[in-house]
Amino acid sequence: MNAPSRLKYTKTDEWYDPATGKVGLTDYAQSHLSDIVFVEILVEAGETVEVGKAIASVESVKASAEVYAPAAGVVAEVNKAIAEKPETLNQDPYGQGWLIRIENSLPGDLMDADAYIRYCEERD
């Protein structure tokens, strides 16, 4: 399982980059969802989000899932390309697979990479 140490993680399998404000779905989550075929981002640039608010909906050949905000703040940017190429979440979840970028963010209750890996191992 890939969990970059520079990122923070939620128990609902989102990642958050404190340096850039980017948010995405973890490698663990995308691997369990399998082939992602649809992504809908539910927020727009300029919108304020709260921790735990649904920011995206993801569908795969196996299941669907909501993606929640790991931090509160203003949505500065939305990755519109992800809707056109949802498979990017499977191929590059921590790179081109980001969903939104939050400015002036206040993170929620997040785990570091080691704690997240232990948490995922406990669930398997």
Instruction: Write out pLDDT tens, residues 1-52.
Output: 899 999 999 999 999 999 999 999 999 999 999 999 999 999 999 999 999 9
Position 114 confidence tier, pLDDT thresholds 50, 70, 90: very high
- What would the pLDDT profile of 45-100 be if each residue is shown by its tens digit? 999 999 999 999 999 998 999 999 999 999 999 999 999 999 999 999 999 999 99
| pLDDT for 92 | 97
Torsion of CA 71, 74, 79, 84, to 10 degrees: 100
Q: What is the CATH number of the domain that holds 69?
A: 2.40.50.100
Judge whether 2 lies within some domain.
no
Q: What is the pLDDT of residue 118?
A: 97
Single-letter amino acid, residue 77: E
Distance CA 46, CA 44 (A): 6
In a domain, 72, yes or no: yes
For residue 124, the model assigns a pLDDT of: 86
* Residue 4 resides in a domain: no
Number of domains present in the structure of the chain: 1
Tokens representing residue 16 in the block: 């958050």
Token duo for residue 35: 């082939």
Does residue 98 belong to any structural domain of this protein?
yes
Residues spanned by the domain of 86 = 9-123
Q: Assess if residue 1 is contained within a domain.
A: no
